[in-house]
Amino acid sequence: MKRHLVLAATLAFFACALAGAQAAKLPDLKGRTIIAVTENAYMPLNFIDPKSGKAMGWEYDCVNEIARRLNAKIVWKVTAWDTMIQAVRDGQFDVGMDGITINDERKKQVDFSVPYMVSQQFMLVRAGEKRFSGAKEFGANPKLLIGSQAGTTNFYVAVYEVLDGNEQNPRIKLFETFGAAVQALIAGDVDAVLMDAASGKGYVGANPGKLKVLGEALGTEEFGFIFKPGSDLVKPFNAAIEAMRKDGTLERLNTKWFFEYKP
């Protein structure tokens, strides 16, 4: 028994030493203050906990851990999605996050980190939905409405992969936040909301018995943090993300927020 304890202690020591060695390779930002911005409306990535009233989520935990590893301090701010990319581009904030899909159009405006999450688009519907089983049937029924947020990946997937490619299609009802679109879905004002798999699980968990994810994946997307063009924070963030990927931290965050968190 004692031998096993010694072995366990030895393994733990080497694990800590390895983690320390990996951390030592990361850039040291020497206590620098980083202004981070999010929307607080994209469960479980960023949202207000209904029980405590505190802002929390996967992205909060991830960026706070990145700052810890880089010897930096995070000051959190909140802004609307439709102004976030421009505000980061203009230097109002140092880093932005809101489940932002990495694509060529956005790369013209801001710099991206390496992907911190890969997700797919699915249809979020009411739990008792039986009128359609996927995007093709939904698109063929002119009575069905889809809720979305303008300018998001979800909006463009809805337009070009579910409906007819017309961005002015009256079957798309726009909302200021994903949360508002989901509440409209629950209330029966729309019939589906497109969500990445991660957020879909979050909303299903937060509304037990009211929602479900339906159909096959409609596309794959990678999420990244955004920075002002030329930002010197991109490389340090990338190094920290890769370290967290290798040591299992990102996977532990996935488990915490997608499977263990109960609103």
Q: Give the DSSP letter of residue 167.
A: T
- Does residue 21 surpass a pLDDT of 60? no
Does 1 reside within a domain? no
Same-domain pairing of 234 and 109: yes
Residue 60 contacts by C-beta under 8 Å, 6 or more apart in sequence? 38, 46, 76
Q: Please write the tens of the pLDDT for every residue from 97-118.
A: 999 999 999 999 999 999 999 8
Number of domains in the chain: 2
Q: Please write the tens of the pLDDT for every residue from 202-255.
A: 889 889 999 999 988 887 889 999 999 999 999 999 999 999 999 999 999 998
Same-domain pairing of 230 and 194: no
Residue 41 contacts by C-beta under 8 Å, 6 or more apart in sequence? 47, 81, 177, 178, 179, 180
Same-domain pairing of 196 and 254: no
Q: How confident is the model at residue 185 (pLDDT cuts 50, 70, 90)?
A: very high
- pTM, entire model: 0.73
| Parent domain of 151 | 119-220
Q: Give the DSSP letter of residue 103.
A: -
Same-domain pairing of 104 and 229: yes
Same-domain pairing of 204 and 234: no
Does 173 reside within a domain? yes
Q: Please write the tens of the pLDDT for every residue from 120-145.
A: 889 999 999 999 999 999 999 999 99
Same-domain pairing of 128 and 247: no
- Does residue 83 surpass a pLDDT of 90? yes
Q: How confident is the model at residue 7 (pLDDT cuts 50, 70, 90)?
A: very low
Residue 56, domain CATH: 3.40.190.10
Does 163 reside within a domain? yes
